[in-house]
Amino acid sequence: MEQRDYTGAMAKFEEAAVKNSANPVFANNAGFAYYKMGKFEESLYWFNKTIEVDPGRAVAYLNLGDSLAKLNRNAEARKAYAKYLELAPESKAASEVKKKLDALPPSP
């Protein structure tokens, strides 16, 4: 990922996630690689997989919220961001996530 080879990174992280299904880091990183490639639907699978393995992994909710926001699934993005803030209220990213939450259009 450091070389911005998201396709290569995604393939390696997917493989690692399948082999190490109990380790949420690989699934989250696979989702992030998909996100960076603009494949937001595909990223959702991996972020949800991360949350399934580790429901307390705050960054997965942030990433999930970002993908959902890109897909204009604002009500779901709002829930994901709120869960992130619940799990990591004092994190470095908390103020940025609050801004993202506030910037989402209201749900119908």
pLDDT in tens, 27-66: 999 999 999 999 999 999 999 999 999 999 999 999 999 9
Whether 65 contacts 45, CB under 8 Å:
no
- CA 85 – CA 61 distance, rounded (Å): 9
What is the model's pLDDT at position 100? 96
- Fold (CATH) for 6-103: 1.25.40
The yes-or-no verdict on residue 102 having pLDDT over 70 is: yes
- pTM value? 0.87
With beta carbons less than 8 A apart as the criterion, state whether 104 and 77 touch. yes
Q: What is the pLDDT of residue 23?
A: 84
Average pLDDT along the chain: 89
